[in-house]
Structure 1
Amino acid sequence: MARVRPGEAANPAPPTVQRIRVRFAKRGRLRFLSHRDVARSVERAVRRSGVPVSHSHGFSPHPRISWIGAAPTGSASEAEYFEIGLTRPVEPETVRSALDAVLPVGLDILEAVVATPPSLADRIDASSWSIALPGVAPAAARAALDALLARETLIVERVTPNGRRQVDVRAALVSASVSDGSTGPVDDDGNSGVTPGVAASSAECAILGAVVRQTTPAVRPDDVLGALDVVAGLKPPVPAKATRMAQGLLDDRGALADPLGPGRVTAQA
């Protein structure tokens, strides 16, 4: 136990009086940042912006920033979330603009609201993904997807630092469809078109849309592509580009409720 000198407070750090819930995007080349890299960037931005962040107590205080459901390294996202504790009330838009001004282009703060119960973790149980498959004909992608959806279960194996793990892709897949993205290619920074990150030279590009439950272990876009390979031998000739479009609670209509506001819908399954 740390000693407290006479006259010193046991917990000198100011308390958290407000929590702000933030949605941000990970775009372009910054999709290759790991979650740790993103977290460090946000912590540096908090210091530079002057936002009155609260800190944990003890010998090594840390800013009170909590994260939920980070997108895999290599995946872009329009719907990443964190909460930040503040030592005094601040308008959410002030927090949003201050952080966005000091973060690099590609880590873009999109929206901020005052956090209210329930917790962010209790507001998210599914994700909506858009997966661009350059060089894959939409008809071939639809045939592979139909074969996957016809299965009751489809196990794929993933190599992790802790060994091999098996995930049931079909059980986590709520819904999926294929569209043609060949008419709207974009450059590698996602400056235009349907899905950020599609190569500008793609003549043909199927776009796989999928709503996936956030299971343990989580089913990732690579797992869905692995399942399509298993059932139909579908292998994109160039790497696929996955973008998370939304996160939220899946309701009985197949819609994802927006974690930042009751009644708002971010995606339809």
Structure 2
Amino acid sequence: MSGAPAYPSDVPRPKAGEAANPAPPTVARVRIRFAKRGRLRFLSHRDVARSVERAVRRAGVPVSHSHGFSPHPRLSWVGAAPTGTASEAEYLEIGLTAPVEPSELVTALDAALPDGLDILDAAVAEPPSLADRIDASRWVVELPGVAPDALRAAVDALLALDTLVVERVTPSGRRQIDVRAALASATAAGSHDSLPSGTDGAGVCAILTAVVRQTTPAVRPDDVLGALDVVAGLRSPVPPKATRTAQGLLDDRGDLADPLGPPRVTTQV
């Protein structure tokens, strides 16, 4: 029995080497830095991606799409922050079918996104790739109810080690993660904080700043806190709040280079 033809007679067949249902070509790429703030820090990466895709459509951005019968917008993501953490330094790259001024893209996308997902910077993409411009992150973690001196002692104990492995439970099983190998630097500071009445340590809040290299699997703020618990029994009486403040290439001074680089446009949100 003969099968049905691959293409109906009234539909032109693609030429050899040509994609079915070809989309307009990508003629430009723009890189974006955005923030994930407030209650929206509890969004998963998938939720953030869906929100950005909807904003791209609402703003009328000439985004390019993949070929085929189920085209997808060409949005490339790098190092998404874990669910539950805030960030001032999330990055994506958008493929475009027509050139767009970065400043116009910042304004249009920021207006189309909900408060808490805020577009901060934009730049025309230039070599090297965005992924090659990022190899570390800086995290600031607020630890209400923890005395700064206790955090300093725990940080010193962790930095004195050559290795410290913690275990993380993942959907694919348990993973062993060497936190110390990924930890480029860590410092402790303090501030005043208001805690619910009856909470131990009310009025104190230790602040951890840690620069963490990219590894596989990635070391997260809760992994660093788990390591501090192992070496010094350090725990916050209330959930800590972690914010990623920067991503980039780590230099010899411990600074992170801006992944966007010049030229760029910046908005104050």
Is the TM-score greater than 0.5? yes
**Does the CA-based 8 Å contact 2:192-2:204 persist in structure 1?**
yes
Secondary structure (helix, strand or coil) at the match of 1:231 reads helix
The residue number in structure 1 matching 2:218 is 218
CA RMSD after TM alignment: 2.2
How many aligned positions are there?
249
**Does the CA-based 8 Å contact 1:25-1:108 persist in structure 2?**
yes
Aligned-partner Cα distance in 2 for 1:7–1:147: 67
Unaligned runs of 5+ in 2: 196-200, 265-269
Aligned-partner Cα distance in 2 for 1:168–1:149: 13
Secondary structure (helix, strand or coil) at the match of 1:112 reads strand
Alignment of 1:75-90 (within 5 A): 75-90=85-100
Secondary structure (helix, strand or coil) at the match of 1:24 reads strand
**Does the CA-based 8 Å contact 1:169-1:223 persist in structure 2?**
yes
| Runs of 4+ residues over 2 Å off in structure 1 | 1-12
Q: Deviations 1:113-168 (Å, cap 9, x if unpaired)?
A: 10011000000000000000001000111111111111110000000000000100
User: What's the CA shift for 1:6?
Assistant: 3.0
Q: Deviations 1:214-256 (Å, cap 9, x if unpaired)?
A: 1011000000000000000001000110000000001122211
Larger mean Cα displacement after TM superposition, 3-12 or 143-152: 3-12
User: What's the CA shift for 1:263?
Assistant: 10
**Does the CA-based 8 Å contact 1:28-1:106 persist in structure 2?**
yes
Aligned-partner Cα distance in 2 for 1:47–1:170: 43
Aligned-partner Cα distance in 2 for 1:110–1:69: 17
Query: Could you tell me the TM-score, scaled by structure 1's length?
Result: 0.88
Amino acid of the residue matched to residue 170 of structure 1? R
The residue number in structure 2 matching 1:241 is 241
Q: Deviations 1:27-64 (Å, cap 9, x if unpaired)?
A: 00000000000000000000000010000000100000
Aligned-partner Cα distance in 2 for 1:116–1:171: 31
Q: Is the radius of gyration larger for structure 1 or structure 2?
A: 2
Percent identity between the two aligned chains: 76
Alignment equivalent of 1:27, drawn from 37, 59, 67: 37
Unaligned runs of 5+ in 1: 187-200, 265-269
The residue number in structure 2 matching 1:204 is 204
Query: Could you tell me the TM-score, scaled by structure 2's length?
Result: 0.88
**Does the CA-based 8 Å contact 2:124-2:263 persist in structure 1?**
no
Aligned-partner Cα distance in 1 for 2:156–2:250: 22
Secondary structure (helix, strand or coil) at the match of 2:55 reads helix
